[in-house]
Amino acid sequence: MSPDARILTRLRRAGDAGVAVSDLGSLVPDDATGLTARIGALRQLGYDIASTAHGGYVLRSGPDRLHADDLISRLPDRRRIGRSIQVFQETSSTNDVVERLARDGVEEGAVVLAESQTRGRGRMGRRWESPSGCGLWFSVLLRPRIPLTAATQLTVMAAVAAARAIGQASGLEPEIKWPNDLHLRGRKCGGILLELGAESDQIHHVILGMGIDVNLSASEIPTQLRSIATSLSLESGRRIDRPALAARLLEELDLAYHDVLEGRFGTIVDEWERRCTTLGRWVSIRVGPREIHGLAEALDEQGALLLRTEHGRLERIIGGEVSLLSAGPSS
């Protein structure tokens, strides 16, 4: 951990009581001068660190910016996800950066966030708008020892983790639209893009990319998407603390991923089913050139959607573009 991450960790833990200089001094390589320099640098970054009456320091607030040291200081108990964190002011796509980390053999749990992306991508080769400073655009490197056929479990666990974190940070109750969309009042506020490196049925690595429209104003949502997209601030009527949400998200992802690896995917499915707007609905799913209509009945143990087709057959769908239909086939 860097000295700044250690200082922020200690200040956060102490809360309003603050921390004595003597306790903080031991966290930096270079005595009290080093500490003064680090506190000055953190203030420059926008951290409101006040001096206490007893000659210590107290953290009053932080900036609406993502900083790796700050995120690390908020995640003291992480198991895997968040072991290393990098923040870019701008990059092409955080999935591309994590792809390079994967090829370099970096261990799982590495997280890359960007304030903005110039070539953010969504599913089906779509562009993902990633304006600066108002969303969460990030990717996580995973190396799960699960069969390729179970990879959909990771999308499901990520959607549940994101819904939990958004709920806690904003008081909103996001719904999940299978397989990977997060919705608020019927409009999309986030999505997940899973990219896999695999050989035959063996997963080498997974890049879990997530985009959340946090504080986008109506004008920051592209005109053609305004009827189907929204942001957390538009729905809650207030600005959301992005660094706090980012930390919650990483924490929830870490917990849910641990559950998947420990064989507790079933508990995640239960929650997913409660939050999912797709189940029990008549849907049309485009899978490549095929368009399948049916009733979305359940999720199986691998995370695939079980669809009862209009002909009564049960189809297992592992990916596709879902549209909710207002009614089933007329009898």
Residues within the interface to ligand BTN (CB under 6 A):
93-95, 117, 120-123, 126, 128, 130, 137-139, 180-181, 191-193, 209-211
Closest separation in Å from C-beta 120 to ligand BTN: 4
Q: Cα separation of 331 and 327, whole Å?
A: 11
Provide the 10 A C-beta neighbour count for residue 309: 13
Taking CB atoms, the residue at the shortest distance from ligand BTN is: 191
**Which is closer to ligand BTN, CB of 9 or CB of 93?**
93
Of 137 and 257, CB closest to ligand BTN: 137
- Of 216, 210, 211, whose CA–CA distance to 239 is shortest? 216
Percent of residues in the chain assigned helix, strand, coil, to nearest 5: 35, 30, 35
Q: How far is the CB of 48 from ligand BTN (least distance, A)?
A: 29
- One-letter amino acid for residue 242 of the chain: R
How much is the CA Rg of the chain, to the nearest whole Å? 22
CA 242 – CA 254 distance, rounded (Å): 18
Give least dist CB 324 to ligand BTN, A: 16
Residue 244's alpha-carbon distances to 144, 167, 188, in angstroms, are 27, 12, 21
How near is the Cβ of 256 to ligand BTN at its closest, in Å?
18
- Taking the CA atoms of residue 266, residue 268, residue 274 and residue 275 in that order, the dihedral angle to the nearest 10 degrees is -150
Contact 190, 162 (CB under 8 A): yes
> Alpha-carbon dihedral of residues 3, 9, 10, 13, nearest 10 degrees?
180
Min CB(126)–ligand BTN separation in Å: 6
Token look-up 């996001």 returns 174
Nearest distance from residue 190's CB to ligand BTN, in Å?
7
Q: Toward ligand BTN, which CB reaches closer, 137 or 178?
A: 137
Nearer to ligand BTN, 137 or 282 (CB): 137
Q: What is the end-to-end Cα distance of the chain in Å, rounded?
A: 64
Q: How far is the CB of 123 from ligand BTN (least distance, A)?
A: 4
Helix residue ranges, H only, the chain = 3-14, 21-25, 31-44, 68-73, 94-103, 152-170, 232-236, 242-261, 265-275
The Cα 310–Cα 320 span in angstroms is 18
Structure tokens at 94: 């955080």
Between 65 and 308, whose beta carbon lies closer to ligand BTN?
65
Shortest spacing between CB 16 and ligand BTN, in angstroms: 35
